């Protein structure tokens, strides 16, 4: 295959200043792609700023900004969204719904610019809540998104935007691909401030307890709620595979390794070499009681499944989060 040049090699990542976006940009660079990364946050707040990237601060909720962003690119990865962990999602439903603006405008601008392929990052939050009411929940199949009753706010926006991608392909012949992310975690992510997800939050709390010697940890909920968590490297590789692949309907991208929140704490405690007294905050946001990814379709279509175990991923994540906690403590005491 001849090497791609010019606009044929140029790819846009929206939400490139975020956690997943930053890792995706880094991998695209490693593959020799010419990358444009855009985000509405100031550059100083981006998770990663990489050399050799066309980094632009643009608000892609605005159509004109989207047109600037897609100019001269052949492929788009749309990861732009206002989101965070359960504490943020449950308390900011309107802000999460407003992510329909970048979802819509990036899609419109990409179609009008003649972009060859469009990838949209959806979420497991699209799944019907009635199928996630027990910790022993059966793994969620792609068809379980309907009849629709997704997570309020964030889940509705994601499901609506999935449908837009589908209809843009049906009506305009615009090639779109959709992956439903299941709880992505890893280094260089949000680890404090209210938008962090469970793995980063647990790593931070354990690190703080280990450093301070407090011997205690606060856990949201009763600890019996279940989830599966996908390490960032698997998320990036799966996203690239799906973006270039044949499957046009939304497909799960997640680990099928189910764990309770208590089990997640157990693993991080073992990594840190501590054992903590657990204080359960039963009135904290918890989300659904159980959620797991059914990976039959991705195995059938691509012969692929995430390869990094929860233990391995948490070892890398804890090392990074613990370093951030130590830096923060050193800075505050200076």
- pLDDT tens-place values along the chain, 334 residues long: 334 445 678 999 999 999 999 999 999 999 999 999 999 999 999 999 999 999 999 999 999 999 999 999 999 999 999 887 777 888 899 999 999 999 999 999 999 999 999 999 999 999 998 898 888 888 999 999 999 999 999 999 999 999 999 999 999 999 999 999 999 999 999 999 988 999 999 999 999 999 999 999 999 999 999 999 999 999 999 999 999 999 999 999 999 999 999 999 999 999 999 999 999 999 988 888 999 999 999 999 999 999 999 999 999 999 999 999 999 988 877 6
> Three-state SS across the chain?
CCCCCHHHHEEEEECCCCHHHHHHHHHHHHCCCEEEEEECCCHHHCCCCCCCCEEEECCCCCHHHHHHHHCCCCEEEECCCCCCCHHHHHHCHHHHHCCHHHHHHHHHHHHHCCCCEEEEEEEHHHCCHHHCCCCCCCCECHHHHCCCCCCCCHHHHHHHHHHHHHHHHHHHCCCEEEEEECCEECCCCCCCCCCCCHHHHHHHHHHHHHHHCCCEEEEECCCCCEEECEEHHHHHHHHHHHHHCCCCCCEEECCCCEEEHHHHHHHHHHHHCCCCEEEEECCCCCCCCECCECCHHHHHHHCCCCCCCHHHHHHHHHHHHHHHHHHHHHHHHC
Query: For position 5, what pLDDT does the model report?
Result: 46
Query: For position 136, what pLDDT does the model report?
Result: 85
Query: For position 4, what pLDDT does the model report?
Result: 43
Phi, psi angles (nearest 5°) of residue 176: -125, 150
Report strand pairing: 34-39 vs 54-57. Answer: parallel
C-alpha span between 139 and 295 (Å, rounded): 8
Query: For position 2, what pLDDT does the model report?
Result: 37
Strand partners, 240: none
Is 318 part of the annotated catalytic residue set? no
**CB 13, CB 77: distance < 8 Å:** yes
Contacts of 250 by beta carbon, 8 Å cutoff, 6+ apart: 122, 126, 142, 145, 162, 178, 179, 180
Query: For position 288, what pLDDT does the model report?
Result: 86
Catalytic entry in 154, 185, 231, 318: 154
Domains of the chain (ranges, CATH numbers): 6-184+230-253 (3.40.50.720), 187-228+258-292+309-333 (3.90.25.10)
Query: For position 333, what pLDDT does the model report?
Result: 74
Contacts of 319 by beta carbon, 8 Å cutoff, 6+ apart: 187
Kindly tell me the sign of the dihedral angle through the C-alpha atoms of 250, 251, 255, 258.
positive
Query: For position 1, what pLDDT does the model report?
Result: 33
Query: For position 302, what pLDDT does the model report?
Result: 97
Q: Which pTM value belongs to this model?
A: 0.94
Query: For position 21, what pLDDT does the model report?
Result: 98
């Amino acid at each position: 295959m001849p090497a791609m040049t010019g606009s044929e090699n140029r790819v846009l990542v929206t939400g490139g200043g975020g956690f997943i976006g930053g890792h995706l940009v880094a991998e695209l660079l490693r593959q020799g792609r010419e990358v444009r990364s855009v985000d509405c946050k100031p550059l100083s707040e981006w998770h990663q700023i990489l050399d050799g990237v066309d980094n632009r601060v643009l608000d892609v909720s605005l159509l004109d900004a989207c047109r600037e962003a897609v100019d001269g690119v052949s492929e788009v990865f749309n990861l732009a969204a206002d989101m965070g962990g359960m504490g943020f999602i449950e308390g900011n439903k309107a802000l999460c719904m407003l992510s329909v603006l970048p979802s819509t405008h990036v899609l419109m601008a990409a179609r009008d610019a003649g972009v060859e392929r469009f990838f949209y990052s959806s979420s497991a939050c699209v799944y019907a809540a009635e199928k996630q009411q027990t910790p022993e929940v059966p793994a969620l199949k792609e068809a379980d998104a309907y009849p629709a009753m997704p997570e309020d706010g964030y889940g509705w926006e994601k499901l609506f935007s999935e449908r837009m991608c589908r209809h843009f392909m049906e009506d305009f012949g615009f090639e779109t691909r959709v992956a439903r992310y299941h709880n992505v975690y890893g280094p260089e992510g949000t680890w404090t401030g209210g938008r962090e997800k469970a793995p980063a939050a647990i790593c931070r709390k354990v690190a703080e307890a280990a450093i301070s010697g407090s011997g205690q940890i606060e856990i949201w909920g009763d600890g019996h709620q279940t989830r599966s968590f996908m390490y960032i490297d698997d998320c990036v590789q799966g996203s690239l595979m799906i973006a270039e692949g044949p499957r046009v309907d939304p497909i799960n991208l997640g680990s099928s390794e189910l764990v309770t929140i208590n089990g997640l704490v157990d693993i991080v405690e073992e990594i840190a070499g501590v054992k903590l007294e657990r204080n359960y905050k039963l009135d904290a946001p918890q989300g659904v009681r159980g959620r797991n990814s059914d990976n039959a379709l991705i195995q059938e279509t691509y012969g692929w499944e995430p390869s990094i175990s929860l233990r391995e991923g948490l070892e890398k994540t804890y090392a990074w989060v613990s370093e951030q906690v130590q830096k923060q403590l050193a800075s505050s005491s200076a």
